Amino acid sequence: MLILGVESSCDETGLALYDTEQGLLSHALHSQIDMHAAYGGVVPELASRDHIRRALPLTRHVLETAGKSLQDIDGIAYTQGPGLSGALLVGTSIAESLAFSLNLPTIGVHHLEGHLLAPLLEPDPPEFPFVALLVSGGHTQLMRVSAIGDYELLGDTLDDAAGEAFDKTAKLLGLSYPGGPAVSKLAAQGQAGTYQLPRPMLNSGDLNFSFSGLKTAVLTLVNQQRDTLDDTARANIAYEFQEAVTEVLTKKCMDALRKTGMKQLIVSGGVGANARLRERLNEAARRRHYHVHYPRLEFCTDNGAMIAFAGAMRMQQKMQESDHSFTVRPRWDLAELTKP
Ligand code: ATP
Ligand code: MG
Ligand code: FE
């Protein structure tokens, strides 16, 4: 079964072809980062317009790369939410109209289910059940994943997401958008011991997170240092910030594995690309004989492959039927996917 996947929830247009026998055949991405950089963040209206420009050329591209034609496709999966409503509408309308004209079934995929399943696209994927850390621009959640579509929320952020904290810290340090990669690059030049930042909720006893206080602590440091905030000081702050975030994330992942009695962790979402986070998780897991699975770096952030894959899994298991009527779901709780 050959599935075309369409992702357009935010500032990346992603297309991909996933075959349930042969795996991922092709994928292509256009990132709007450069376009939004001048504004310091995503401008929704610009995002929608750009998705319109990119979606069909990228569709042609993935078909050509895979040596397939439209007639070979068996179904179309697209991100139905959550995300920016205008951006979602573009991918949704293109997918639904293409499917209508080709008489194909469609499947509206939850963007976070896409992120969550992305590590399963790699060789030697984990078997169910496992614990998932979903750590992206908009979410920081720990989940028990028992099967496709069976997700139990174990912990969540009470305020900012980890990626959001990276982005806001980057802004405070005068770095470019998106902040995660920029902060981690600067942190590599920083040193331990110069500054102290809090580890929010490290010992809260539950699996929840909170990152907004950390960002405020960075703001206070930056304000205190205003006259002496040279490159060394900025690098040291970035270093300490990254240590604080990755320490909390690592501790809570280990707690989640211990509490659930599971031995496998998967990490997905943009912050999952962070090298220091991977280093800490791998080290902590190694000591406890746990296994950690990640997506390849390019599939940590938004992409079409994860949507094609999640859609293919759902279609294969006949979990969803479509009638070509459609709505986007800008707000959509992943837990709603689990049928009682
Ligand atoms: P969501 O999926 O929750 O709707 P999103 O799609 O914007 O949000 P992703 O595309 O998964 O999120 O990830 C983007 C986020 O990941 C940004 O906040 C970015 O700063 C962060 N990020 C990307 N690379 C890194 C990195 N190397 N280190 C830390 N953070 C990173
Ligand atoms: Mg993005
Ligand atoms: Fe995302």
Q: Which of 169, 294, 300 for a ligand 1 pocket mutation test, highest count of atoms within 8 Å of Cβ? A: 300
Give the strands of the sheet with 106-110, arranged side by side: 23-31, 12-19, 2-7, 75-81, 106-110
pLDDT digits (tens, 9 = 90+) for 126-144: 999 999 999 999 999 999 9
Q: Which residues of 114-138 are buried (b: 16+ CB within 10 A; e: fewer)?
A: bbbbbbbbeeeebeebbbbbbbbbb
Tokens 């069976």 label which residue? Answer: 150
Cβ of 295 below 6 Å from ligand 1: no
What is the residue with the minimal CA distance to atom 30 of ligand 1?
180
The C-alpha atoms of residue 306 and residue 119 are separated, in whole angstroms, by 9
323's CB contacts (< 8 A; 6+ apart) are none
In the chain, which residues fall in CATH 3.30.420.40? 2-116+299-336, 125-294
Can you give the pLDDT at residue 340?
Answer: 56
Cα(52) to ligand 3 centroid in Å equals 19
pLDDT digits (tens, 9 = 90+) for 75-114: 999 999 999 999 999 999 999 999 999 999 999 999 999 9
The C-alpha atoms of residue 235 and residue 278 are separated, in whole angstroms, by 20
Q: Which residues of 296-307 are buried (b: 16+ CB within 10 A; e: fewer)?
A: eeebbbbbbbbb
Can you give the pLDDT at residue 316?
Answer: 93
pLDDT digits (tens, 9 = 90+) for 62-83: 999 999 999 999 999 999 999 9
Residues annotated within the binding site are 111, 115, 134-138, 167, 180, 274, 302
Task: Judge whether 48 and 89 are in contact, CB under 8 Å.
Answer: yes
Cα(55) to ligand 1 centroid in Å equals 22
Average pLDDT rounded to a whole number, residues 222-237: 92
Length of the chain: 340
Q: Does residue 246 have a pLDDT over 90?
A: yes
What is the residue with the minimal CA distance to atom 23 of ligand 1?
270
CATH superfamily of 125-294: ATPase, nucleotide binding domain (3.30.420.40)
What is the residue with the minimal CA distance to atom 19 of ligand 1?
180
What is the residue with the minimal CA distance to atom 29 of ligand 1?
180
Which backbone phi and psi does 11 adopt, to 5 degrees? -115, 20
CATH superfamily of 2-116+299-336: ATPase, nucleotide binding domain (3.30.420.40)
pLDDT band at 37 (very low <50, low <70, confident <90, very high): confident
